[in-house]
Chains A and B, each alone.
Chain A
Amino acid sequence: MLAYTIKRIGLGLLILIGVMFAMYAAVFIVPGNPARAALGPRATQEMIDRLTREMGLDQPYLVQVYNFFVNVLSGNLGIDVISNRPVATEIWEVLPNTLILCLVGLGWATLLAIPLGCLAVLKRGTWVDRAASLLSVSVISLPYYVVAIYALLIFAVQLNWLPAIGDGDPGDIGSQIRALILPAFAIGFTWVGYLARLVRASMLDVMGEPHIRTARAFGVPEWKIVTKYGLRIALIPTLSLLAVSLGGLISSAVFVEVIFSRPGIGKLVTAAVNLRNYPVVMGTVLVMTGIYVTLTIAADLLIARIDPRIRDAFRGA
């Protein structure tokens, strides 16, 4: 298990390093100077040169990458060219907000989707199954930001039940929870369908396996076969597919934060892109990719915990 963990983390770090190399390569190859872009069309050549030097963009490619990694290891993600504050501080301030949003959004979706997927398998071939399938497909394909805007229009503007923007008043948990409801709904919306479908599909695979027949032959109740014998195994492919799709969760958080004007990574990065605030964009991408890689590793380790076969395969390795 330890060897497996180390191997997974090593691979994750490698991907992270690969991503940063690729992003620096992109900046280096593509014409146009980020410093010029950040300063706008009216900047003088002198100003541009100075900022270029400050950002270290006049250095050779490998030196830039090296400097970046050295800085990252000491917790320094560069300086925001607009506000002159450290990028790490800016990200750190809003990161918890985004994580809470993702967690709650994915959480309610999971709690709803797993029973829905199981129900579809239990009632296989009936109208319940078909309705659940139709619901899943529709929910997956609808753009969540349209759903977010419609929800905003109905519940915040027309009915005035919930706040339309912001993340609630500081220190007031009640208002913070109320401000979280609509964004979390919008984020989880797609995932209900996605997860229910994954659970159903992998569950149907599992239900065809011989050990399910054994359990049936011994008169184990069908609900127990589905929830204990089937779900435990069906969760393994579901989890690994889920881990691969977590990038989508982060993407949807970006849009939902913009729509609901909710402070977070998404608002930070979109504002930075509009202002061509290049260090903030780089820093955010690094942090979010890091979170994504961490989550996939966590999912893999969780899978190894659930499945004793994988656990043992790596015990000696």
Chain B
Amino acid sequence: MTALLSIRDLTIDYAGHVQAVRGANLDVHLGEAVGLVGESGSGKSTLASAITGLLPIGARILGGDIAFKNESVTSGRKQAQQILRGDEIAMVFQDPMTAFNPVLTIGDQLVDFQSRMPGKAREKYARAVAMLARVGIPDPALRANSYPHEMSGGMRQRAAIAAALLVNPSLLIADEPTTALDVTMEAQIIHLFRELRQDYGGGILIVTHHLGVVAELCDRVYVMYRGEVVEEGAVDDIFHEPRHPYTRALLACDPARLHERAGYLPVITDAERATFMQARPR
């Protein structure tokens, strides 16, 4: 089976000196949900934004290749990535508070987000309302006419997922889709993703620092640490037999996996960190 998305030896640096991503390899296949985990600053979000060519100002790709459906999107013309956006690839962003334009209605924006799709504005609007209903937003016709600040955080994140599904992408990238939400909302959004996976045939890449999200949603997982992919494998394997010491440390810090009551939450100490970079499990 050939990969939908295939990243090889990707290296990205910031302002010419900090290497945010170093020689990363990653594959996403059709019908598969892949997790990309790591702590803040591990380079996971940089890697994800490189796929659609939306790297922050100052960042640039030094080497390696990103291929989508066997065609390189980094070596060709700049347009290649732009054409993919909002068509083959859709993104769900981290913060639903700021992901929508505050002075335009949700429906208006959902229509604009279908700019690569055929059809009249009226049809797109009807599609948007139907999709809002599909992601579990009550009274979707009213909500399409609402401004973002009139909706709750969870509802906005549902709307953001609706936006991504509207363009019927082959690859859906969700960048920290639950980070900005409280625990109840997070559970609902995870539930929504699981439900949607049943009739969505494309690939999903979920970027998160939350291992629980990965355990709930993903088939395979990549672990990033300091710009490198340090471990990769099926979710079950990695959760039960982590090979890299960083993965082990990360798992040990997950509050959901604590078996006994501890006085304080475990953290990764500097002494532990010193051992991570020498370790080469593969």
Contacts and interface: CB of A to CB of B under 8 A. Distances in A.
Interface of A: 209-221, 224, 228-229, 232-233, 306-309, 312
B149 A309 contact: yes
A216 B104 contact: no
A204 to B, nearest CB: 12
A57 B195 CA distance: 83
Contact of A312 (B83, B116, B149, B163): B149
Interface in B65-123: 82-83, 85-87, 90-91, 93, 95, 98-104, 109, 112-116
Given A210-B98, A211-B98, A233 B103 contact: yes
Contacts of A308: 102-103, 147, 149-150
Contacts of A228: 104, 112
Nearest to A235: B103
B85 A209 contact: no
B93 A213 contact: yes
A219 B101 contact: no
Contacts of B93: 210, 213-214, 217
Given A217-B90, A219-B86, A209 B103 contact: no
SS class, residues of chain B in contact with chain A: loop
Contacts of A221: 115
A100 to B, nearest CB: 32
Chain B interface residue number, banded: 20 to 34
Given A220-B86, A220-B113, A228-B112, A214 B103 contact: no
B103 A217 contact: no
Contact of B167 (A210, A213, A218): A218
A234 to B, nearest CB: 10
B54 interface: yes
**Interface of A, helix, strand, loop or mixed by DSSP:** helix
Contacts of A233: 101-103
Most B Cβ at <10 Å: residue of A217, A228, A229, A306: A217
B52 interface: yes
Contacts of B150: 308, 312
29 contacts: A209-B98, A210-B95, A211-B102, A213-B54, A213-B93, A214-B99, A214-B101, A214-B160, A214-B163, A216-B54, A217-B85, A218-B85, A218-B112, A218-B113, A218-B114, A218-B115, A218-B163, A218-B167, A219-B82, A219-B85, A220-B112, A220-B113, A221-B115, A228-B112, A233-B102, A306-B103, A307-B103, A308-B147, A309-B102
A233 B102 CA distance: 8
Nearest to B148: A211
Nearest to B114: A218
Contacts of A217: 52, 54, 85-86, 90-91, 93
